[in-house]
Amino acid sequence: MKEKVLVVIFAGLFIILLYGGCAREGFVRKAAVIPIVAGAGYTGNNICLECHDDMVGFKKTIHGRIADFEVVGLSKGCESCHGPGSIHAEDEDPASIISFKDISKGEASAVCLRCHTSGSLMDWQGSEHSLNDVSCIDCHRAHSRTRRLLAQSEPKLCNNCHQDIRAKILYPSHHPIREGKMVCSDCHQAHGSFLTNLKTEERLNDLCFECHSAKQGPFVFEHEPVVENCTICHDAHGTVANNLLVQNEPFLCLQCHQFHFHAGKIGGEGTSTDVYGRSVTSSSQSMTMAYTTKCTQCHSEVHGSDLPSQSVPGQGGALTR
Ligand code: HEC
Ligand code: HEC
Ligand code: HEC
Ligand code: HEC
Ligand code: HEC
Ligand code: HEC
Ligand code: HEC
Ligand code: HEC
Ligand code: HEC
Ligand code: HEC
């Protein structure tokens, strides 16, 4: 009896998990619809401005300047976002007009997406921001005169919600974001992309190559983790170790390699096999030397090289020059 109950509970949990999993997917998620004020018609900006005279500045924003043909008849001035306002212009009731204070985040985005369907916004529906109930109006202010109508400039805008990243860009090694030479959206597309909101068409490494092209192969002697993913060794936001390294040398390298100092000698004591499987005798000194070494002092071309190292057993691939 007890087992049966458990089976039912687990089956139930499984279905909930399965459902919960699917519901997060962009394609089963229904786009929110734009709220409608029944029976209302369009009146035009001049009527609105009779009472909302503090909004005259709107004419100078990009939305105040768009021509109707640019958006195939969707441009109705104020009412292209706030909806038809004839009833509201009579009763002056905020409930009879689309007020962004009263509608959901999804509905607010739906208003903007009527026109903004192309370019980067094509990725919006499946983006982490959209799926986590972040809306256009969390980052943009329709009535402001800021660049790209941003609510705040970067990185402040992003850091409001991404406190963990804010902390990282203050670490000793960092991309020059806090110096104002770079912004989050040099690397990120806030509207979404297939990979962690990153501005890359295919692989994460392609993003890095945009600015660090010298690290782009193909090299005759490659280093496997470099080819695979730069973030195996680097954290793009900031680190305590130099060069944005996730760990200091030699410990970074020792995650994957045996410790040695010279000529492939293992940093242990006594007789053991070296990096090539040869039998070598090491002293306790070699251990100390291996631990206190900086591997890249010898393996300076850690990102890959076209020149063979003078190492016969290593087939020239020791990345020393
Ligand atoms: C006859 C005067 C009048 C006209 C015309 C008018 N409004 Fe209003 N509107 C008001 C008043 C009064 C309020 C309520 C203000 C408040 O509660 O602070 C209001 C509220 C609003 C709100 C909600 C503001 C909020 O704080 O939630 C929006 C949006 C709005 N109006 C847009 C428009 C638009 C767009 C038009 C033109 C289609 C328009 N109004 C025409 C008087 C008017
Ligand atoms: C591109 C879409 C868009 C257009 C066009 C637009 N608004 Fe707004 N309006 C918004 C949004 C979004 C908000 C909510 C605050 C914000 O994000 O700036 C808002 C807020 C308001 C408010 C509430 C006051 C406030 O600051 O919160 C009023 C009143 C208003 N708009 C009136 C107007 C009038 C009048 C016009 C035309 C002259 C107009 N809007 C054109 C999108 C628009
Ligand atoms: C009536 C159609 C329409 C609606 C609705 C609309 N926009 Fe726009 N928007 C445009 C057009 C057209 C442009 C200018 C061309 C472009 O940049 O795509 C524009 C430009 C912009 C820009 C770029 C500004 C710049 O400096 O380049 C931003 C940001 C923007 N809109 C945000 C919004 C947000 C947020 C909303 C919803 C509150 C919204 N739009 C609603 C048509 C619209
Ligand atoms: C998480 C913040 C964020 C959200 C949410 C967001 N945007 Fe943006 N948007 C930005 C930033 C940042 C830029 C400026 C990028 C740059 O500097 O090139 C931008 C730029 C734009 C532009 C200018 C053209 C372009 O593609 O770069 C338009 C139009 C725009 N946003 C519309 C929207 C609309 C519509 C929505 C909602 C569906 C939206 N944005 C949601 C942050 C956001
Ligand atoms: C030099 C490029 C670059 C810059 C600039 C950058 N990021 Fe990133 N960001 C990345 C990469 C690469 C990843 C993916 C990390 C991974 O998958 O291991 C990422 C991941 C993220 C994530 C996902 C969570 C995580 O920690 O992996 C968030 C959130 C984020 N970045 C926010 C920001 C914010 C906010 C800024 C500006 C303060 C910013 N990023 C600036 C490259 C950058
Ligand atoms: C209103 C809050 C808010 C703002 C503002 C905001 N984000 Fe986010 N962002 C979120 C939430 C919520 C998530 C999803 C959960 C998470 O990863 O923390 C997210 C996720 C992300 C991710 C991870 C995407 C993934 O696929 O894992 C990146 C990258 C990111 N945001 C970058 C940015 C950048 C760049 C800006 C500024 C232009 C920005 N965010 C502004 C709330 C915000
Ligand atoms: C938009 C251009 C840009 C992109 C994209 C970019 N970087 Fe950078 N990177 C820079 C700049 C600028 C510096 C600072 C150079 C300086 O200070 O001389 C830098 C510095 C670095 C440094 C050295 C940091 C130090 O402490 O000296 C590393 C490591 C690095 N980037 C790795 C990456 C990785 C990994 C990626 C991909 C996730 C990446 N970068 C993407 C522009 C970029
Ligand atoms: C196996 C670990 C590892 C991987 C993976 C890796 N790096 Fe590095 N990177 C290092 C080390 C160690 C340093 C510092 C020593 C040096 O300068 O050679 C460094 C330094 C850098 C620097 C700053 C110094 C310079 O040479 O300009 C940049 C930029 C950089 N790496 C970019 C990248 C890029 C882009 C990728 C992905 C294609 C990448 N790294 C992958 C280990 C790695
Ligand atoms: C994530 C694991 C990883 C990290 C971290 C790593 N490597 Fe490697 N490294 C590899 C792999 C895998 C190979 C290819 C091994 C092979 O071909 O037998 C390799 C190859 C090498 C080679 C050439 C060996 C050969 O046989 O061609 C050298 C030299 C090297 N790494 C040095 C370093 C240094 C120095 C560091 C630290 C800056 C480092 N590695 C960090 C995984 C790593
Ligand atoms: C004093 C210079 C020096 C230092 C420091 C050094 N190495 Fe080496 N390493 C070499 C030389 C030279 C070879 C080629 C060995 C040979 O010819 O027998 C080599 C070989 C290797 C190989 C095998 C290469 C191949 O071609 O198969 C790996 C992996 C390696 N080292 C990793 C490391 C790591 C990890 C560190 C840091 C703990 C490190 N090395 C420190 C000089 C050094």
**Which of 37, 51, 107, 143 to mutate for ligand 1's pocket (most ligand atoms within 8 Å of CB)?**
51
- What is the Å distance from ligand 4's center to 205 Cα? 24
Tell me the per-residue pLDDT of 20-34, one tens digit each, with 9 for 90 and over.
434 444 333 456 788
Q: Roughly how many angstroms between the first and final C-alpha of the chain, as a whole number?
A: 71
Tell me the per-residue pLDDT of 145-168, one tens digit each, with 9 for 90 and over.
899 999 999 999 999 999 999 999
- What is the Å distance from ligand 2's center to 141 Cα? 9
| Residue nearest atom 29 of ligand 8, based on CA coordinates | 212
C-alpha to C-alpha distance for 76 and 92, rounded to whole angstroms = 19
Q: What is the pTM of this model?
A: 0.92
Dihedral angle at the C-alpha atoms of 11, 12, 15, 19, nearest 10 degrees?
-170
- What is the Å distance from ligand 6's center to 193 Cα? 12
Ligand 4 contacts CB of residue 190 (under 6 A): yes
- Residue 275 CA, closest ligand 9 atom number: 26
C-alpha to C-alpha distance for 130 and 149, rounded to whole angstroms = 19
Tell me the per-residue pLDDT of 53-65, one tens digit each, with 9 for 90 and over.
999 888 888 999 8
A 10 A CB-CB count for 84 gives 19
- Residue 297 CA, closest ligand 10 atom number: 5
Tell me the per-residue pLDDT of 171-188, one tens digit each, with 9 for 90 and over.
999 999 999 999 999 999
Backbone angles phi and psi of 128, in degrees to 5: -60, -35
Ligand 4 contacts CB of residue 124 (under 6 A): yes
Low-confidence ranges of the chain (pLDDT < 70): 1-31, 261-269, 274-276, 282, 284-290, 311-314
Ligand 9 contacts CB of residue 224 (under 6 A): yes
pLDDT at position 25, please? 40
4: Cα within 13 Å, side-chain hemisphere: 1
